[in-house]
Amino acid sequence: MVKTYKGYEIHPLVYPRRTASGVTNRNSIDGGYDASVRICRVGASAADEGRVFRIAQFRPFEGAGKARMACMEHAAQVIDGQVDGQSVSDL
């Protein structure tokens, strides 16, 4: 699922959270999901992969859908310059 926002493509990256033992389990209550988002310019070449921004989350997301929604919200905030230390200005 790729969305665009203000001339950027937003690619949500959702993956099962690793437990303390290093095992991933989609069905585990302790597992859940972590997320990052890849942002690149619309129409960028394949060589320009953009930049990946991890979503800092103390607790895992309960479901993949919630993680994807958080990706979209975080990407919009990064693109709008509202996240300290994260910028797309040089893409």
Q: For 24-62, write each residue's pLDDT tens digit.
A: 555 555 578 999 999 999 987 666 789 999 998 888 898
What angle (nearest 5°) sits at the alpha carbon of residue 59, between those of residues 11 and 38? Answer: 15
55 is a domain residue? yes
CA distance 51 to 87: 9
Joined together, the tokens standing for residue 81 give 């310059």
87 is a domain residue? no
**Count of domains in the chain?**
1
Question: What pLDDT score was predicted for residue 1?
Answer: 73
What is the span of the domain harbouring residue 32? Answer: 3-79
pLDDT greater than 70 at residue 12: yes
> Mean of the pLDDT values across residues 67-83?
96
The residues with which 53 forms a beta bridge, in sequence order, are: 37
Q: How many residues does the chain have?
A: 91
